[in-house]
Amino acid sequence: MANEQKGSSRPPSSPFRPRCYPSCKLFYEVSDANNIYHRVSLDKFEIVPWQKNDKVSRFLKKCRKSKNPEALYRKGVVDYFTHKHEDSALECLEEAANSGHADAAYALGIIYIFIGGDELKRKGMRLLSRMKKSRILKGKVKLCCDNLRVLLRMIWVKNPVFLNPTPICCAMTHERKTSSWPMDADDVEESTCEGCACDEEIGVICAALPYR
Ligand SMILES: [Zn+2]
């Protein structure tokens, strides 16, 4: 009996068995690879490639699987605006925004406002105004807007939420700031009304949408 016990191997899940080293090595290699896919820059890859390249597609898929924020942002925006897999597109954007990707947070704010309904619209407005008030993100809002506009010009925006009447965020009756557009970031005098500030963002994005 004692011999039998001696001879029996430990459960494979035991992290302490000496024979785990090869699999540990494999584990670290895999997690290293995930880390690389998570952090790799996608600057050299076109957001909307002219030609489908399977190798690149597989690479980008691995990046998304490893939660690369830029890869998630691109997939989220392209899919949502072109009206494909909307739920997973929003998940991609939320995941990227939660990991601190400013472009994704900005795009989400805009999308929520367009989807509308009291709750989502408020959520979108809150997101945009938080960005504008954040010491770190404040200076990035204009860049996020520019990046989104550039991306929207590359794709065919088919999602009906962007083709419907433009949402209006400011519910107050007060004199709106009428600024001429386009404006330089330095010239922009921030609206003190949160709703008006969001309406300004919406207006700038709408100007980049085709067929409006
Ligand atoms: Zn207002």
Cα 118 to Cα 73, 82, 113, 132, 196: the distances in Å are 25, 24, 9, 21, 16
Helices (H), 8-117: 21-39, 54-65, 69-81, 86-98, 102-115
Cis peptide before 182 (omega within 30 of 0): yes
Q: Give me the long-range contacts of 13-22 (CB less than 8 A, separation at least 24).
A: none
d(CA 74, CA 95): 12
Q: Is the dihedral of CA 37, 42, 106, 135 positive or negative?
A: positive
pLDDT at 34: 85
pLDDT tens, residue by residue, 124-162: 999 999 999 998 888 899 999 999 999 999 999 999 999
pLDDT above 70: residue 178: no
| Distance (Å) from CA 198 to ligand 1 centroid | 9
| Distance (Å) from CA 107 to ligand 1 centroid | 21
CA 11 from chain centre, in angstroms, equals 42
pLDDT above 60: residue 189: no
Which SS3 state, helix, strand or coil, does residue 181 take?
coil
pLDDT tens, residue by residue, 84-122: 999 999 999 999 999 999 999 999 999 999 999 999 999
d(CA 13, CA 164): 55
Instruction: Report residue 185 as tokens.
Output: 């970031």
| Distance (Å) from CA 167 to ligand 1 centroid | 13
d(CA 151, CA 177): 28
| Distance (Å) from CA 129 to ligand 1 centroid | 13
Mean pLDDT within 162-183: 75
pLDDT tens, residue by residue, 16-46: 444 555 667 777 777 788 889 999 999 999 9
* Nearby residues for ligand 1 (ion, Cβ within 5 Å): 170, 172, 193, 195-196
| Distance (Å) from CA 177 to ligand 1 centroid | 8
pLDDT at 176: 61
pLDDT band for position 212 (50/70/90)?
A: low
d(CA 85, CA 79): 6
Asked if 78 and 42 touch (Cβ cutoff 8 Å), the reply is: no
Instruction: Report residue 172 as tokens.
Output: 């107050």
